[in-house]
């Protein structure tokens, strides 16, 4: 495959270019019990904000803070009840500037 | 009257006004700090308990009306904007606020703003009104009889205050979460009184407005025969670190000592 | 009596155009936006075609917050090492009345919403609509928001609440949900000096470039794009959700792969990422279209899945603006005739059917599936670029082969059946012809 000729920035730096007005409660809730026996884990590769992180004990760690509110995760997830998806409270969440 | 001071600032994380005075905030990204929001919430709680009229005040251009509209929607009774360009010096802002708050029993402020302000406005307001001040409150208990508060001191210490008379209080953002404005509040037509101060200051005072930049300090070349020694000297690695100094001086000499230290460290 | 005549949910291009029309018709309209300002949640693949705005804001180009006018439009077909580009430019597109433009959506959408406010609409930001209210007959009668005392009633609700439209789903206007109907758009906005952009893309002043790319998304079906803003460029991908989820490369890794392509690297090199963003796109065209009207409710924009992703035509904002405008007209008409039932709101569907909004979608109904099909995505780029390579390669002392011979040989080598090629060609002709 093609190799990048210049170093890519870290994901933290990448996501840091977008602004987020973080609310104190999570707008998306992931039920780790449902994820525990999921072997496909589409969310990990598909979430553009890389919010789904596999844990060593076979679970999924989910962070809601830097979420684009796009909806990819609940659309690709094939486990009923794993993801409870809502928009954040009005005024909170991602704020785009140059898109 | 219960006063609330709200500073309209750019809430974006990147520093505004690099290389000069503060930029005019981008209206879309402007708002008030969490501390200012907490100040408004405490004013609302105080009124709900003990009654009174909440007057929310900002000092800024017409675009700053946005923060007053939000305050009215959340429950403030009256809103006043003192019309000044963005970035007026703290002293001027405080004098403007004090004019509106001449009759206020309590004035609530946030203890910091987003744009790395000096946090000096509350103290200036208290001085201009000639009333007490309790700044940097980390916990508050509003009661019909008065206000109990916990104030942050240096070194992790706390001071417990019982506030009964007129006072300017500045609060940290974590002390209270501003209630969400009801939908009807947002749909109501806001009325904002605009005060045009007699003495106009159109440009920010440069010394007040610049972002904090420590002055460069000259160092003598480090002593040592090898590069490693010189680096050790330069970084004071391995040396016993001096934790400040304690001196006993009379007030004028103490003030002079503080100023000289600040000058040495590049703050002034 | 309801609180207001119309509630428009979402102050994107659809919502603002609906609100402009209604406010100008003298209706009391409230425009509710969940972001702190209109456009703050919005992201797109780069080009807006505002022709429809001629009907709402004459000479809009004098005031719209446009980055560059697209005077150069390229379609690139690539494999990992080859690229075949069809490059068109027209100076006519760089002068009034213009054609396509690049813009930052937080600027453009906020500008359009300002027009709604100027027309008399009430804009309420930072407020998420969480559900619909219904009257005794089951007609939509208003919305519930996430604010205290947050219910508001209206004669008509126009849901312009975007691709995830929970309002449309709550109302049962969507059929069976299928992730295959959606693509994920991911994008990097890269800062480069204006003169560097001008030089690399061969443009001057406010002239701009839009490049659409096929064959650049690895094993995932989709496409790519690069376009110029004034002092930034945007590079991004559109990725079909089930395919993205079924492989191992993350979206930003796929962008990095595109940026490293020999045809793309010289354009984007040295650009500093200013913003990384992502958004879903309803991409299946007419086949995924929901029911567009219910009793007391209309859908417009992405909420109605009105996004045209037909390969050589990639449009969305214009469909949003037009559908919003027609929804506003239909709602005003229904309120005048005091019938806001689905029958009273039938003017909406009628207007959409009579104009490009549904005509284009009906004409191009086969296009989205064709463009995202495995053959178009993974076989035809190799086929087309190898044919070009063979045609332009000088194999002396071998004589030049005829084009027909090259095509036949390459088709066989790449493994495309003649029957499939004919079938796809016919589908293409039917769609695009």
Give C6-44 pLDDT, tens digit per residue: 999 999 999 999 999 999 999 999 999 999 999 999 999
Give C140-196 pLDDT, tens digit per residue: 999 999 999 999 999 999 999 999 999 999 999 998 889 999 999 999 999 999 999
C124 close to B (CB below 8 A): yes
- The neighbour count for residue B266, using CB atoms within 10 Å, is 12
Q: Among B221, B240, B217, B239, which Cα is nearest to B230's?
A: B221
Residues in A closer than 8 angstroms to C276, CB to CB, are: 14-15, 17-18
Tell whether the model's pLDDT for residue C420 goes beyond 90: yes
pLDDT at C107: 96
Mean pLDDT confidence for B148-153: 93
Residues in C closer than 8 angstroms to A5, CB to CB, are: 260, 265, 269
Question: What CA–CA distance (Å, rounded) separates B46 from B146?
Answer: 9
A19 close to B (CB below 8 A): yes
Question: What CA–CA distance (Å, rounded) separates B57 from B55?
Answer: 6
* Architecture of the domain defined by A23-92: 2-Layer Sandwich (3.30)
pLDDT at B113: 76
B12 close to A (CB below 8 A): yes
pLDDT at C259: 95
Instruction: List all residues 6 or more positions away from B220 whose beta carbon is below 8 Å from its beta carbon.
Output: none
Q: Do the chains contact at C36 and B179, CB–CB below 8 Å?
A: no
Of B13, B177, B180, nearest to A19 by CB-CB distance is B13
**Alpha helices (H) along C308-417:** 317-336, 347-354, 356-363, 367-371, 374, 380-392, 403-414
Residues in B closer than 8 angstroms to C37, CB to CB, are: 28
pLDDT at B214: 66
Mean pLDDT confidence for C61-90: 96
Question: What CA–CA distance (Å, rounded) separates C294 from C341?
Answer: 7
Q: CATH classification of C180-282 is 3.30.9.90, yes or no?
A: yes
Inter-CA distances, B253 with B246, B249, B258, Å: 14, 6, 9
pLDDT at C385: 96
Q: Do the chains contact at A5 and C179, CB–CB below 8 Å?
A: no
Domain ranges of chain C: 4-67+103-178+285-364, 180-282, 373-432
| B-chain residue closest to C143, CA distance | B183
ipTM above 0.85, yes or no: yes
Question: C121 with C29: CB under 8 angstroms?
Answer: yes
Interface chains of chain C (3 or more CB pairs under 8 Å): A, B
Give C329-380 pLDDT, tens digit per residue: 999 999 999 999 999 999 999 999 999 999 999 999 989 889 999 999 999 9
Superfamily of domain C4-67+103-178+285-364: FAD/NAD(P)-binding domain (3.50.50.60)
Question: What CA–CA distance (Å, rounded) separates C36 from C408?
Answer: 58
Domain ranges of chain B: 2-209, 227-265
- CATH fold, domain B2-209, is Rossmann fold (3.40.50)
Question: What CA–CA distance (Å, rounded) separates B85 from C101?
Answer: 35
| A-chain residue closest to C183, CA distance | A72
Q: What angle do CA B49, B55, B59 make, to 5 degrees?
A: 145
Nearest-neighbour CA in chain B from A94: distance (Å):
12
Q: Among C240, C201, C214, which Cα is nearest to C83's?
A: C214
Residues in A closer than 8 angstroms to B13, CB to CB, are: 19
| C-chain residue closest to A5, CA distance | C260
Tell whether the model's pLDDT for residue B219 goes beyond 80: no
Tell whether the model's pLDDT for residue B268 goes beyond 80: no
Residues in B closer than 8 angstroms to C110, CB to CB, are: 28
B29 close to A (CB below 8 A): yes
Domain ranges of chain A: 23-92
Tell whether the model's pLDDT for residue B136 goes beyond 80: yes
* DSSP secondary structure code for residue C48 in this structure: B
Tell whether the model's pLDDT for residue B210 goes beyond 70: no
C127 close to B (CB below 8 A): yes
Mean pLDDT lowest for which of A59-68, B36-45, B220-229? Answer: B220-229
| A-chain residue closest to B33, CA distance | A21
Question: What CA–CA distance (Å, rounded) separates B223 from B27?
Answer: 53
pLDDT at C168: 97
A25 close to B (CB below 8 A): no
Question: What CA–CA distance (Å, rounded) separates C263 from C272?
Answer: 19
- The neighbour count for residue C404, using CB atoms within 10 Å, is 8
A65 close to B (CB below 8 A): no
Q: Do the chains contact at C124 and B187, CB–CB below 8 Å?
A: yes
- C134: helix, strand or coil: strand
Tell whether the model's pLDDT for residue B21 goes beyond 50: no
């Amino acid at each position: 495959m093609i190799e990048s000729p210049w170093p890519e920035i870290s994901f933290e730096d990448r996501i840091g270019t977008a602004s987020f007005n973080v609310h104190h409660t999570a707008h998306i809730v992931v039920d780790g019990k449902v994820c525990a026996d999921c072997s496909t884990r589409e969310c990990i590769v598909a979430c553009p904000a890389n919010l789904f992180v596999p844990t060593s004990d076979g679970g999924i760690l989910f962070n809601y803070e830097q979420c684009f509110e796009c909806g990819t995760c609940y659309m690709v997830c094939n486990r009923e009840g794993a993801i409870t998806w809502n928009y954040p409270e009005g005024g909170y969440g991602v704020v785009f500037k140059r898109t | 009257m219960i006063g609330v001071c709200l500073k309209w600032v750019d809430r974006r994380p990147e520093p505004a006004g690099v290389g000069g005075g503060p930029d005019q905030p981008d209206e879309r990204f402007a708002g008030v700090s969490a501390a200012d929001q907490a100040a408004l919430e405490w004013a609302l709680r105080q009124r709900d308990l003990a009654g009174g009229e909440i007057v929310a005040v900002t000092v800024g251009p017409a675009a700053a009306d946005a923060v007053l509209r939000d305050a009215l929607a959340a429950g403030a009774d009256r809103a006043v904007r003192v019309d000044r360009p963005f970035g007026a010096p703290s002293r001027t802002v405080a004098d403007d606020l004090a004019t509106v708050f001449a009759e206020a029993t309590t004035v609530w402020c946030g203890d910091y703003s987003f744009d790395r302000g000096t946090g000096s406005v509350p103290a200036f307001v208290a001085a201009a009104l000639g009333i007490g001040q309790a700044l940097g409150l980390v916990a508050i208990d509003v009661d019909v009889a008065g206000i109990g508060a916990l104030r942050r001191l240096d070194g992790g210490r706390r001071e417990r205050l019982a506030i009964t008379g007129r006072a300017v209080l500045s609060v940290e953002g974590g002390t209270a979460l501003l209630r969400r404005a009801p939908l009807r509040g947002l749909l109501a037509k806001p009325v904002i009184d605009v005060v045009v101060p007699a003495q106009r200051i159109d440009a920010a005072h440069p010394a007040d407005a610049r972002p904090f930049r420590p002055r460069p300090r000259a160092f003598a070349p480090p002593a040592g025969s090898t590069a490693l020694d010189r680096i050790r000297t330069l970084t004071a690695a391995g040396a016993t670190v001096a934790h400040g100094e304690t001196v006993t001086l009379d007030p004028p000499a103490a003030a002079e000592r503080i100023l000289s230290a600040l000058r040495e460290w590049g703050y002034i | 009596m309801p609180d207001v005549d119309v509630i428009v949910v979402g102050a994107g291009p659809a919502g603002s155009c609906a609100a402009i029309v209604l406010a100008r018709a003298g209706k009391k309209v409230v425009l509710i936006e969940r972001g702190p300002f209109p456009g703050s949640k919005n992201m797109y693949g780069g080009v807006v075609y505002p022709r429809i705005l001629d009907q709402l804001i004459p000479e809009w180009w004098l005031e719209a917050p446009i980055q560059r006018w697209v005077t150069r439009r390229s379609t690139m077909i690539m494999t990992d090492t080859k690229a075949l580009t069809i490059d068109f430019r027209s100076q006519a597109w760089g002068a009034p009345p213009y054609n396509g433009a690049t813009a930052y959506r937080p600027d453009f959408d906020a500008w359009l919403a300002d027009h709604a406010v100027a027309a008399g609409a009430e804009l309420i930001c930072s407020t998420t609509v969480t559900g619909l209210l219904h009257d005794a007959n089951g007609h939509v009668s208003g919305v519930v928001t996430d604010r205290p005392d947050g219910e508001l009633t209206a004669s008509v609700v126009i849901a312009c609440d975007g691709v995830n439209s929970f309002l449309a789903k709550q109302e049962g206007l969507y059929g069976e949900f299928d992730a295959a109907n959606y693509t994920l758009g991911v994008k990097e906005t890269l800062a480069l000096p204006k003169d560097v952009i001008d030089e690399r893309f061969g443009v001057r002043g406010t002239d701009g470039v839009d490049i659409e790319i096929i064959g650049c998304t690895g094993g995932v079906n989709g496409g790519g794009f690069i376009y110029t803003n004034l002092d930034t460029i945007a590079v991004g991908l559109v990725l079909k959700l089930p395919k993205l989820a079924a492989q191992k490369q993350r979206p930003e890794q796929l962008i990095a792969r595109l940026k490293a392509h020999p045809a793309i690297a010289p354009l984007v090199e040295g650009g500093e990422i200013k913003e990384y963003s992502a958004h879903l796109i309803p991409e299946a065209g007419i086949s995924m279209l929901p029911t567009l009207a219910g009793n007391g409710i209309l859908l417009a924009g992405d909420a109605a899945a009105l996004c045209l992703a037909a390969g050589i035509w990639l449009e969305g904002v214009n469909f949003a603006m037009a559908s919003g405008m027609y929804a506003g007209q239909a709602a005003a008409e229904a309120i005048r005739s005091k019938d806001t039932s689905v029958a009273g709101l039938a003017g909406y569907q009628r207007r959409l059917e009579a104009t490009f909004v549904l005509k284009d979608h009906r004409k191009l109904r086969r296009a989205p599936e064709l463009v995202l099909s495995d053959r178009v995505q993974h076989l035809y780029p190799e086929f087309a670029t190898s044919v070009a390579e063979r045609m332009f390669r000088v194999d002396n002392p071998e004589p030049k082969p005829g084009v027909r011979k090259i095509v036949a040989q390459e088709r066989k080598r790449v493994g495309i059946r003649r029957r499939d090629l004919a079938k796809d060609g016919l589908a293409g002709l039917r769609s695009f012809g």
